[in-house]
A and B are shown apart, each in its own frame.
Chain A
C-alpha cells in the first residue's frame, strides 16, 4: 500500500527565503508522486509531478522537487518565497492499480512573513 507523510503542519519563512516542504513516501512499487497547492476555499492546483522520468522535477511558480529513492523523499523547494506562495500544500502518491487514485498527505500550511 502507498502512503505519504508530510512533516510539519506549518512552515513559516520570510519573503525571499528558501522554501522547503517535506514529504516522505511509502510504496512497494515505483511511485508516482505529486505536489498540489490549495488556496482558501478553492480546489487543488498541480504544482509538479514525478512519474519515473527525471528525478529533479520542475513545476510552476518556481517550485521544484527531487525524488530520492534512497531516502523515500520528495521534498518541495523554492529558492525565494513570495507572499503569494502562502497557501496549503499537499503531497500525494498515486495508488498503482487500475484506478491510480491519489492518497494525500496531511498538508503543510506555508506562511510567508513580509
Chain B
C-alpha cells in the first residue's frame, strides 16, 4: 500500500517550453503533497507544499510563476515548469502525506527533467 507514482519518469524539453509533471497517490488519499528538487549528488530541497483545493505554499526563493503547482484532487498534484531553461534541469520528486496522518509521507520515484 501507500504507492505514489510520477509521470513522466524522464522528460527532455527544449528551452522556452513548458513541461508538466504529475504526482499521483495510487491507493490512498493525500490532502497534502510536497514537491522537492534534487541536484546531482545533493540533498532534496523542498520547493512547495501543495494542499488539495487551495493555493500551494512556496518555499523562500522558489518562483511561484515559474513552478506552477495544482492540487485539484485528493490523489493528484501537478508541477508545471514554465518557460524552462537549462538551469531547471534537475530531478523532481514528490511526496504525498496520508490524509488524517500528521507525518506519514510517501515518495514518488522522481522525474528527471533535462532542458536543452
Contacts and interface: CB of A to CB of B under 8 A. Distances in A.
Interface band, chain B: 20 to 34
B108 A32 contact: no
Contacts, number: 48
A73 B43 CA distance: 19
* Interface-central residue, A32, A41, A90, A106, by most chain B CB under 10 Å: A41
Contacts of B44: 44, 90, 104
Interface string A60-101: 000000000000000000000000000000100010000111
A102 B105 contact: yes
Contact of A94 (B42, B49, B103, B107): B103
Contacts of A46: 106
Contact of B109 (A42, A100, A107): A42
B43 A107 contact: yes
Interface residues of A, number: 21
Contact of A101 (B43, B49, B93, B109): B49
Contacts of A99: 32, 49, 57
A25 to B, nearest CB: 15
Given A32-B103, A51-B103, A94-B103, A43 B43 contact: no
Main secondary structure of the interface of B (DSSP, over half): strand
Contacts of A51: 103
Given A99-B49, A100-B97, A106-B43, A43 B107 contact: yes
Interface of A: 32, 36, 41-46, 49, 51, 90, 94, 99-107
Top 4 A-B residue pairs of the complex, sorted by shortest distance between their CB atoms: A43-B107, A44-B107, A43-B109, A100-B103
Given A99-B32, A102-B46, A104-B45, 17 more contacts: A36-B107, A41-B112, A43-B6, A43-B108, A43-B109, A44-B44, A44-B93, A45-B107, A51-B103, A90-B43, A99-B49, A99-B57, A100-B102, A104-B43, A104-B44, A106-B42, A107-B43
